[in-house]
């Protein structure tokens, strides 16, 4: 009990500290805007990834409909919060379009800042509910399907949704295939002159993820895991498959809907074309990188993913000529180390699986790594100062190669099906045993 | 009335034949590996780009076989890199690998081509305009269904009559037992990818002759539709995939004809969901039950 | 003595194969009844029909006086009865296995089916889920604390009765075979059954483990006031433990009776040893 309380205090302190840092970042001049982008988008993607993990990782249902439910959430949120006076100009293609009211605007006028928050919360929940309702309706026929059929059917549903939203008859609400904008976004959250644009995504997304964590550790979450591990046994032990699968599907879609709304708030605009199957694939890859069945893995992976795709790998998209030989040498050494590191990691992994030797992955890795290092040496010797290959689009190639390496060689992802606190705890215990041992050895001497 | 319907029907049959050629690749791979090869649609697109670049420098009698050969090599390479190492892994992992591969191919194409739409070369003779029953169309419209059927008949003969065909049938029936009976499963799988990619290459030539431009993501949608065609016909069944392809192509063409273009994609998926709900094994699929 | 399980005219056909052919049997309260027969006789199929995994081609299963499974494809009108679902009349009743489990019937599997990523304790605790009264909302927001606490205590008690408390936090599938079977029994007991169906509980066990299991099955029957219906190949165990035995051969029941009667039944001996053509 005492230990439990201690953990609670520590986590509360950590959360407050995190929010304080975010608040500081929001209101300090000179903070790289990319950092804020990564934090905001990462927090939102974390929620989608967690919602997908609930289905794919914890219930064992391979669904690819996430983008569709996000789309519903985004449109629901946007349509309900566009200020009344801007509705005519936004819906100019559909005269008389727009819902004619704005929940956030109405509540802000009535109650001020608290009204804004209340309005946003109401609209986020409505966004989730709309997505969840649809999931409830389609869940019955779709969830009877097995693995890949389920995947392709949910993918199909997402595509249908995208087409329906762009349907001209729905134009007065969805604005057809045109942009929706001008609705309440994160930038509208302020305390006095303090901006909360990064704090708010963390608050909303964090609360939702907390609910998912609570759910997973409840008796229903355990039932989901039983279905994932062995459906036949789960059913024989009294778990109603249809009911529980549907429940998982509906909850996952609920949070996907909310995250869609959050994404709309972040982007300050919504358009159906962005919610393509490619978006679902990206989220799936986040889940895989983090570890299927690990909430903390999904959260960490979404920040890594967004960080890599938006920021850290950006330099790959621009041509670059190095200044002098020293810069070239430093580049070559770093490059060589990265290549060698990845190769060694793959070898180590294969050895752990007991497969090291003359197998195809190892030979392939060796050839690729040797070629890369050979090129590296050649590059140092050559008089050329311009870095080759770097131009628009290279970032995504490197990025997808990294993803393939993870998928092929590090299938468990960052955390497998473990959670970060457990891993840290075990790492601590391991360190302690190591440390304790060496201390003992010292004593003996 | 008939004159109004004819263009849509012809267009539908033509697109349907192209879907059918792609769908065969899906259905054969699924039959043996139980894997939706998400990268198949991208292999189809790569074939289009190879044609764009090859035709710029080489004469046509060189480029056509070259496109087919390079596409086949790519298909087999994808199998060796992305699927073979995961043969004993859970199905979900292999599917994720397929999605990752599709992502990699799309991004690579974007990088190599600069992301701009490329003009597809005009293939002489088959792109020529002809007139059928008072309606002008290009010759490819007529050739596609004929070529599709000829290729499918040849393929079915291959599967029914040859030794490798027999091995393929055995592997799709029971992967493990086939292995135990001395069938070199890796050769069978490679051969499956050879056939699938080769047909996708031919399909791409016919498809892009109609559509004129190639972009890195253009293959995703026909790829998915071809997959739906394969499911519709009963996954694992080649005649099923062909019939499914034609049905989807024709329906789509008529839906576009009524002006609801945005719904032609949605229709395909609606059809998929209906068929999965009503008859999950498709028109010609076989029923399998799990032993408890 | 009350009747717990009755099977009437049950037939299960897969295409041309008749796995269970017009089976009739009954199990009374507090009994231990065995179903034996050569490999492929249809024993597990019979279990699957009883527990709702397969809907029978024909026949009826009654549990504690209530019809739980019924199918009469010929549509004989006299077989119509008032089903449990909203008093609607039907002559086809094929509930999913979970509904049957909730009525108080639990089973183990021939090829052990434990939840592989879960510990022994979690395996047992998950089986309690079907007795949870909390809805999803109150479970998520921890408003069912008392119930959760009670369930955990019950599971710990079960584990100690079954001698599994020292492997409580091990991964269930990392245990030796004999213990895994025990976990499966613990898991089945956690659903609070009246009738326990054991599918080859001694498969893969050595003679010592089998002896322990024999004593153990008797003990849980008495402790939990159970009725036990089991499939088994170890004749020592079957003969030691059973009150009555049914013998199945090629889907047909060929004999039933006390262990002594079965041991002396010529048809049973023929079924197991084969009939000599010279005779």
Residue C199 in 3-state DSSP? Answer: strand
Q: What is the DSSP string of chain B?
A: -HHHHHHHHHHHHHHHHHHHHHHHHHHHHHHHH----TTHHHHHHHHHHHHHHHHHHS-HHHHHHHHHHHHHHHHHHHIIIIIGGGTTS-HHHHHHHHHHHHHHHHHHHHHHHTT--EEPPPPTTTTSEEEETTEEEEHHHHHHHHHHHHHHHHHHHHHHHSHHHHHHHHHHH-HHHHHHTT--HHHHHHHHHHHHHHHHHHHHHHHHHHH-EE-TTTTHHHHHHHHHHHHHH-TT-HHHHHHHHHHHHHHHHHHHHTT-THHHHHHHHHHHHHHHHH-TTTTT--------
Residues in chain A within 8 Å Cβ distance of C51: 236
Q: Pairing relation of β-strands B213-214 and B118-119? A: antiparallel
What percent of chain A lies above the pLDDT cut of 70? 95
Domain boundaries, chain A: 1-29, 32-276, 320-389
- Pairing type for strands C81-82 and C58-63 reads unpaired
Across chain B, mean pLDDT equals 86
CB A380 within 8 Å of CB A332: yes
Q: How many other C-beta atoms lie within 10 A of the C-beta of residue C207?
A: 11
Going by C-alpha positions, the residue among A2, A82, A15 that lies closest to residue A264 is A82
Partners of chain C (3+ Cβ pairs below 8 A): A, B
The whole-number pLDDT of residue A355 equals 63
Q: Would you call C140 and A220 a contact, using CB atoms and an 8 Å cutoff?
A: yes
User: Residue A357: which pLDDT band, with cuts at 50, 70 and 90?
Assistant: low
The backbone region for C8, taken as left when phi is positive above 0, alpha when psi lies in -120 to 50, beta otherwise, is beta
All structural domains of chain B, each given as residue ranges with its CATH number in brackets, are 7-278 (1.10.3470.10)
User: What value does the mean pLDDT take over residues C136-156?
Assistant: 91
Q: Provide, as residue numbers in chain C, all residues whose Cβ is less than 8 Å from the Cβ of A247.
A: 136
Instruction: Mean pLDDT check: name the lowest of A9-13, A355-359, B33-37.
Output: A355-359
What SS3 class is residue C70? strand
Pairing of strands A194-195, A190-191: antiparallel
Which of A385-399, B96-110, C57-71, C99-113 is predicted with the least confidence, judged by mean pLDDT?
Answer: A385-399
Is the pLDDT at B3 greater than 70? The verdict is no
Element (H, E) at A72: helix A66-81
Residues C119, C104: Cα–Cα separation, whole Å: 24
Give the whole-number percent of chain A exceeding pLDDT 90.
40
Average pLDDT value for chain A: 87
Report yes or no: B43 and B106 within 8 Å, Cβ to Cβ: no
Q: Put residue A364 in one of left, alpha, beta given phi > 0 → left and psi -120 to 50 → alpha.
A: alpha
> How far, in Å, are A73, A101, A123, C264 from residue A97 at the CA level?
19, 11, 19, 88
Task: Go through A162-176 and write b for each residue having 16 or more CB atoms within 10 A of its CB, e for each that does not.
Answer: bbbbbeeeebbbbbb
ipTM: 0.88
Q: What is the pLDDT of residue A440?
A: 46
CB-CB under 8 Å, A220 with C125: no
H/E segment holding residue A190: strand A190-191
Q: Can you read off the two tokens belonging to residue A176?
A: 């057809």
Cα Dmax for chain A: 88
| Chain B residues 253-292 within an 8 A CB cutoff of chain C | 292
What pLDDT sits at residue A410?
83
How far is it, in rounded angstroms, from Cα B68 to Cα B60?
A: 12
Q: Is the domain covering A32-276 a CATH 1.10.3470 domain?
A: yes
Instruction: Give the residue from A420, A160, A109 showing the smallest Cα distance to A294.
Output: A420
pLDDT of residue B200: 93
Q: Tens of pLDDT along B226-283? A: 988 988 888 878 888 999 999 999 998 888 888 777 778 888 888 888 888 788 778 8
Distance, CA of B280 to CA of A147 (rounded, Å): 12
Predicted confidence band at B101 (pLDDT cuts at 50, 70, 90)?
very high
User: Could you tell me the pTM of the whole model?
Assistant: 0.89
Mean of pLDDT values over A203-226: 95
Contact flag B95-A232 (C-beta cutoff 8 Å): no
Q: Is C48 on the interface with B (CB under 8 A)?
A: yes
Among B66-70, B90-94, C89-93, C235-239, the range with the most confident prediction by mean pLDDT is: B66-70
Q: How near does any CA of chain A get to the CA of B124, in Å?
A: 34
Name all domains of chain C by residue range, CATH numbers in brackets: 3-112+193-273 (3.40.50.300)
User: Which pLDDT score is estimated for C40?
Assistant: 83
What are the pLDDT digits (tens) for A76-128? 999 999 988 888 888 888 887 778 888 888 888 888 888 899 999 999 999 99
Residue B292: list chain C partners with CB under 8 A: 44, 48, 53, 109
- C residues 94..113 contacting B (CB < 8 A): 109
Render pLDDT for C83-107 as a digit per residue (tens, 0 to 9).
444 444 445 778 889 999 999 999 9
Structure tokens at A377: 């040496």
């Amino acid at each position: 009990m005492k230990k439990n309380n201690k953990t609670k205090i520590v986590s509360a302190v950590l959360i407050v500290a995190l929010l304080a840092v975010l608040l500081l970042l929001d209101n300090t001049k000179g903070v790289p805007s990319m950092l804020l982008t990564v934090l905001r988008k990462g927090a939102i993607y974390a929620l989608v990834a967690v919602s997908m993990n609930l289905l794919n990782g914890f219930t064992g249902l391979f669904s690819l409909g996430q983008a569709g439910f996000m789309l519903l959430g985004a449109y629901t949120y946007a349509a309900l919060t566009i200020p009344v006076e801007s509705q005519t100009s936004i819906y100019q293609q559909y005269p008389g379009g727009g819902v004619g009211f704005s929940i956030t605007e109405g509540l802000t006028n009535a109650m001020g800042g608290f009204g804004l928050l209340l309005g946003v919360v109401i609209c986020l929940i409505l966004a989730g509910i709309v997505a969840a309702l649809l999931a409830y309706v389609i869940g019955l026929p779709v969830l009877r399907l097995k693995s890949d059929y389920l995947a392709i059917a949910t993918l199909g549903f997402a595509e249908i949704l995208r087409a329906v939203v762009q349907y001209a008859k729905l134009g007065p609400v969805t604005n057809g295939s045109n942009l929706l904008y001008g609705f309440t976004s994160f930038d509208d959250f302020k305390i006095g002159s303090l901006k909360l644009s990064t704090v708010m995504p963390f608050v909303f997304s964090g609360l939702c993820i907390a609910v998912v964590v609570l759910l997973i550790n409840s008796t229903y979450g355990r039932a989901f895991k039983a279905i994932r591990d062995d459906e036949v046994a789960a059913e024989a032990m009294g778990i109603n498959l249809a009911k529980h699968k549907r429940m998982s599907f509906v909850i996952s879609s609920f949070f996907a809907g909310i995250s869609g709304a959050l994404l709309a708030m972040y982007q300050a605009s919504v358009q159906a074309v962005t919610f393509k199957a490619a978006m679902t694939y990206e989220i799936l890859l986040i889940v895989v990188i983090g570890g299927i069945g690990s909430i903390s893995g999904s959260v960490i992976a979404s920040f890594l993913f967004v960080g890599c795709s938006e920021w850290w790998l950006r330099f790959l998209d621009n041509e670059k000529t190095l200044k002098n030989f020293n810069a070239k040498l430093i580049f070559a050494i770093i490059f060589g180390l990265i290549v060698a590191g990845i190769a060694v990691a793959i070898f180590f992994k294969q050895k752990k699986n007991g497969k090291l030797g003359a197998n195809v992955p190892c030979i392939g890795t060796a050839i690729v790594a040797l070629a890369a290092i050979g090129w590296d040496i050649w590059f140092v010797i050559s008089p050329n100062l311009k870095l080759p290959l770097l131009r628009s689009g290279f970032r995504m190639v490197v990025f997808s190669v990294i993803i393939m390496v993870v998928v092929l060689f590090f299938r468990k992802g960052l955390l497998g099906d473990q959670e970060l606190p457990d891993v840290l705890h075990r790492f601590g215990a391991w360190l302690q045993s190591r440390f304790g041992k060496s201390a003992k050895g010292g004593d003996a001497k | 009335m008939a004159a109004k319907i004819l263009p849509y029907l012809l267009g539908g049959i033509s697109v349907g034949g192209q879907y059918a050629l792609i769908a065969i690749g899906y259905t054969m791979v699924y039959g043996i590996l139980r894997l939706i090869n998400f990268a198949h649609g991208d292999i189809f697109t790569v074939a289009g780009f190879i044609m764009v670049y090859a035709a710029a420098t080489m004469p046509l009698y060189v480029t056509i076989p070259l496109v087919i050969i390079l596409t086949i090599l790519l298909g087999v390479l994808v199998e060796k890199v992305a699927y073979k190492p995961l043969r004993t892994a859970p199905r979900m992992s292999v599917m994720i690998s397929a999605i990752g591969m599709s992502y990699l191919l799309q991004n690579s194409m974007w990088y190599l081509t600069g992301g701009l739409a490329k003009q597809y070369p005009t293939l002489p003779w088959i792109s020529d305009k002809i007139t059928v029953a008072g309606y002008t169309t290009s010759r490819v419209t007529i050739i596609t269904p004929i070529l599709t059927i000829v290729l499918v008949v040849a393929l079915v003969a291959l599967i029914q009559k040859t030794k490798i065909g027999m091995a393929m049938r055995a592997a799709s029936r029971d992967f493990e037992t086939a292995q135990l009976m001395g069938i070199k499963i890796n050769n069978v799988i490679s051969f499956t990818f050879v056939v699938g990619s080769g047909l996708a290459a031919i399909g791409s030539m016919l498809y892009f002759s109609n559509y004129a431009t190639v972009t890195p993501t253009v293959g995703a949608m026909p790829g998915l539709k071809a997959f739906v065609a394969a499911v519709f016909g009963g996954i694992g069944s080649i005649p099923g995939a062909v019939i499914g392809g034609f049905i989807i192509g024709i329906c789509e063409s008529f839906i576009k004809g009524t002006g609801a273009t945005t719904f032609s994609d949605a229709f395909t998926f609606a059809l998929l969901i209906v068929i999965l709900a009503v008859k999950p094994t498709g028109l010609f699929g076989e029923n399998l039950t799990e032993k408890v | 003595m009350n009747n717990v399980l009755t099977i009437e005219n049950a037939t299960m056909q897969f295409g041309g194969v008749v796995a269970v052919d017009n089976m009739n049997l009954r199990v009374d309260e507090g009994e231990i009844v065995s179903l034996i027969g050569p490999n492929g006789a249809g024993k597990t199929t019979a279990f699957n029909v009883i527990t709702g995994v397969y809907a029978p081609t024909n026949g009826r299963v009654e549990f504690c006086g209530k019809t739980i499974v019924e199918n009469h494809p010929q549509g004989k009108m006299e077989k119509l009865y008032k089903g449990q679902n909203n008093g609607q009349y039907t002559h086809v009743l094929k509930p999913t296995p979970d509904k049957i489990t909730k009525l108080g019937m639990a089973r183990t599997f021939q090829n052990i089916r434990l939840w592989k990523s879960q510990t022994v304790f979690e395996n047992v605790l998950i089986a309690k889920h079907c007795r949870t009264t909390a809805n999803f909302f109150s479970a998520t927001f921890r408003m069912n604390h008392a119930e959760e606490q009670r369930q955990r205590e019950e599971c710990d008690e079960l584990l100690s009765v079954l001698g599994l408390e020292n492997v409580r936090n091990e991964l269930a599938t990392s245990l030796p075979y004999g213990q895994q079977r025990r976990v499966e029994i613990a898991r089945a007991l956690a659903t609070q059954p009246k009738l326990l169906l054991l599918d080859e509980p001694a498969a893969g066990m050595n003679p010592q483990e089998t002896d322990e299991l024999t004593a153990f099955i008797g003990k849980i029957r008495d402790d939990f006031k159970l009725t036990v219906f089991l499939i088994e190949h170890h004749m020592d165990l079957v003969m030691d433990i059973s009150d009555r035995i049914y013998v199945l051969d090629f889907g047909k029941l060929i004999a039933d009776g006390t262990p002594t009667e079965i041991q002396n039944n010529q048809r049973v001996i023929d079924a197991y040893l084969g009939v000599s053509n010279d005779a």
